[in-house]
């Protein structure tokens, strides 16, 4: 049955009445983008007029765009950091927002090696929940029948800490899954997950993943869509199946739960799901998993899957070939674009190719400084009190839906290496090299050149660092063991999101140093010059991915070394 939204929607006929309301909302917001933006800015500025931050700029109560732009500066996290620290230390005066700060959201972007702390207010959940409620109505326009089955989504919570003020600090999705908005969400036939809340909310990543995979296998025929937040997470889940299918099969065959699952809430809820032995299913999964060939494993085990709901734009594009391999090329809709600071927008054409994905700004979420027809860095102002804040994402406006700008996510600013949500920049890599190469001084050896590569052919992916060494004492070369420890020393000095990925999430594999023959970087330069680079301006690229260059480097490797153990990481912030 089709429902008439009452508006001439350019989106398409809604699947049900609830969808009609959602699509109508999208149309209203995008048709009146400018007016909505003006209202949002007015609301932000009037409610926060008396905050310490806005008072500094002498707006004198003005809420119009011109005064705002001319008086309030564009800022980075580092500019705000001293004031954010005051909030973290317990200053409850209205510094950024007239509404009380409810918690800190910890971004995967870092500052001085630690996650950025984004102060947020409770009311933001209404806006974020509203944006979530628009996702399935858009999907339903393209994929019919999603109410006839379930979604196998691998969702996880991460560790949280408290700041000295007693406010919690945690990633935005951890906050969401633990909130009543998620836990007591009303039943929606278009949005039923195979994973029980108890599994999603278990902080132990093995137990959580194991249970979610087990439920996905038990309900395999009902699964219509599969997902994770980022592509890296879904790839990791398939790898988990590769490692653990025998134990999962044993549970299914016997109708019992693996003793490694000790979480009381999971045990209780799985008692109801895992009711009886199912030898046929166990046999089927064994048949599919025991072979060497995992091509198309997703559609073999979950034959009714219509798409993989993961973000594959930006750095995540590197996982597209792996997902295509596992799924036989199922569509990869990137449904939304969001961050700890603000949820920005939706993909209104989710079945488009990943390389064509554009997100449409939802103008009710915050105020956006948009620039047309060129690459620009997203600048936002939020109800929580960020004013003209640089998010660090580089976008290009590609068009409009009604009057709302649509943009491509181009890249994250200054990111050299990224495997999962980690982001390592050039300065961090340089510092890590410096720290590690200190271990070589007693051997009179130094690192003369280096470059890096994010290797996602291994699962999980890992950082590869190519080193060319110079030794003044050939009789006393650093041993294999010393070079292994150099890998660990590098990891120890990388930022906390990287180390959390290594330690708690297992989303990043051990760092590898590949020592290359002397003269390799000269050859690299010769190669670049042969392709038109200027000799005067040539700089060693600090990260490489171009196949001929990789081949050159790999053909010159004399030894490879891996971190012998995981680096230090605890949820507490360093320093």
Residues at the contact surface with ligand AMP, assessed by CB under 6 A? 107-108, 172, 311, 313-314, 334, 337-340, 391, 393, 409, 412, 421
- Could you tell me the smallest distance in angstroms from the CB atom of residue 116 to ligand AMP? 8
Query: How deeply is 352 buried, as exposed, middle or buried, from its count of CB atoms within 10 A (0-12, 13-18, 19+)?
Result: middle
Residue with tokens 């004198």: 60
Q: How far is the CB of 118 from ligand AMP (least distance, A)?
A: 7
CB neighbours of 74 closer than 8 A, spacing ≥ 6?
369, 379, 388, 389, 390
Q: How far is the CB of 102 from ligand AMP (least distance, A)?
A: 17
Rounded CA-CA distance 413/409 in Å is 11
Alpha-helical segments (H) within 164-221: 172-178, 180-183, 197-200, 205-218
d(CA 319, CA 455): 11
Q: How far is the CB of 411 from ligand AMP (least distance, A)?
A: 8
Helix (H) or strand (E) holding 526: helix 520-530
Residue 522 sits at φ, ψ, to 5 deg, of -65, -45
* Whether the Cβ atoms of residue 184 and residue 197 lie closer than 8 Å to each other: no
Count the residues in the chain.
575
Nearer to ligand AMP (CB atom), residue 109 or residue 196: 109
When the beta carbons of 105 and 511 are compared against ligand AMP, the nearer one is 105
| Nearer CB in complex with ligand AMP: 278/313 | 313
Q: Which is nearer to ligand AMP, 107 or 424 (CB)?
A: 107
* Nearest distance in Å: CB 233, ligand AMP: 13
Assigned token pair, 430: 């340089």
**Least distance to ligand AMP from the beta carbon of 450, Å?**
26
Q: CB of residue 421 vs ligand AMP: minimum separation in angstroms?
A: 6
Token pair, residue 252, equals 């299914």
What residues does 463 pair with on adjacent strands?
Answer: 454
In the complex with ligand AMP, the residue whose CB is nearer, 102 or 107, is: 107
Q: Based on CB atoms, which residue is closest to ligand AMP, 213 or 348?
A: 348
Closer of 426 and 484 to ligand AMP (Cβ): 426
Q: How far is the CB of 401 from ligand AMP (least distance, A)?
A: 16
Q: For residue 314, what are the contacts with CB-CB under 8 A and spacing of at least 6?
A: 393, 409, 410, 411, 412
- Report the b/e string of 37-48 with b at 16+ CB within 10 A: bbebbeebbeeb
Closer to ligand AMP by CB, 102 or 437: give it: 102
């Amino acid at each position: 049955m089709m429902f008439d939204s009452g508006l001439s929607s350019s989106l398409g006929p809604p699947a049900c009445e609830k969808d009609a309301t959602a699509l109508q909302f999208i149309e209203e917001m995008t048709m009146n983008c400018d007016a909505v933006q003006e209202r949002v800015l007015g609301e932000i500025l009037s409610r926060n007029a008396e905050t310490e931050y806005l008072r500094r700029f002498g707006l004198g109560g003005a809420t119009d765009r011109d005064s705002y732009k001319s008086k309030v500066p564009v800022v980075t996290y580092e500019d705000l950091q001293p004031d954010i620290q005051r909030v973290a230390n317990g200053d409850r005066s209205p510094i950024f927002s007239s509404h009380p700060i409810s918690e800190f959201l910890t971004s995967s972007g870092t500052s001085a090696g630690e996650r950025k702390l984004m102060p947020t207010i409770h009311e933001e959940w209404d806006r974020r929940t509203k944006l979530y409620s628009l996702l399935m109505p858009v999907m339903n326009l393209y994929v019919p029948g999603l109410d006839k089955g379930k979604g196998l989504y691998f969702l996880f919570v991460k560790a949280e800490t408290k700041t000295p003020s007693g406010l919690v600090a945690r990633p935005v999705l951890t906050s969401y899954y633990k909130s009543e908005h998620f836990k007591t969400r009303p039943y929606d036939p278009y949005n039923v997950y195979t994973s029980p809340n108890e599994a999603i909310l278990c902080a132990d990543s093995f137990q959580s993943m194991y249970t979610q995979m087990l439920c996905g296998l038990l309900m395999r025929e009902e699964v219509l869509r599969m997902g994770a937040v980022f592509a890296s997470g879904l790839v990791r889940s398939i790898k988990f199946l590769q490692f653990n299918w025998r134990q999962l099969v044993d549970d299914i065959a016997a109708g019992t739960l693996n003793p490694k699952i000790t979480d009381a809430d999971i045990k209780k809820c799985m008692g109801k799901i895992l009711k009886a032995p199912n030898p046929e299913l166990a046999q089927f999964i064994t048949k599919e998993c025991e072979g060497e060939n995992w091509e198309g494993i997703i559609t073999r085990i979950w034959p009714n899957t219509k798409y993989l709901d993961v973000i594959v734009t930006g750095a995540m594009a590197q996982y597209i070939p792996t997902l295509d391999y596992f799924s036989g090329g199922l569509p990869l809709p990137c449904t939304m674009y969001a961050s700890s600071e603000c949820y920005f927008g939706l993909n209104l054409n989710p079945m488009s190719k990943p390389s064509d994905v554009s997100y449409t700004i939802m103008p009710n979420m915050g105020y956006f400084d948009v620039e047309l027809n060129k690459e620009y860095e997203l600048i936002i102002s939020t109800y929580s009190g960020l004013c003209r804040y640089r998010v660090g994402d580089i976008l290009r406006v590609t068009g409009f839906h009604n009057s709302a700008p649509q943009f491509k996510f181009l890249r994250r600013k200054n990111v050299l290496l990224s495997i999962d949500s980690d982001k390592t920049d050039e300065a961090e890599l340089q510092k890590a090299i410096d720290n590690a190469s200190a271990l070589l001084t007693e051997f009179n050896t130094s690192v003369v050149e280096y470059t890096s590569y994010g290797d996602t052919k291994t699962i999980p992916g890992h950082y590869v660092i190519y080193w060319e060494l110079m030794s003044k004492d050939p009789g006393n070369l650093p041993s294999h063991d010393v070079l292994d420890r150099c890998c660990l020393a590098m990891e120890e000095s990388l930022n906390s999101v990287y180390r959390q990925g290594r330690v708690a999430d297992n989303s990043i594999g051990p760092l590898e140093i590949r020592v290359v023959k002397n003269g390799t970087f000269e050859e690299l330069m010769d190669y670049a010059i042969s392709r038109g680079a200027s000799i005067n301006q040539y700089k060693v690229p600090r990260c490489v991915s171009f196949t001929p260059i990789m081949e050159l480097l790999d053909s010159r490797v004399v030894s490879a070394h891996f971190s012998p153990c995981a680096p230090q990481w605890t949820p507490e912030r360093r320093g």
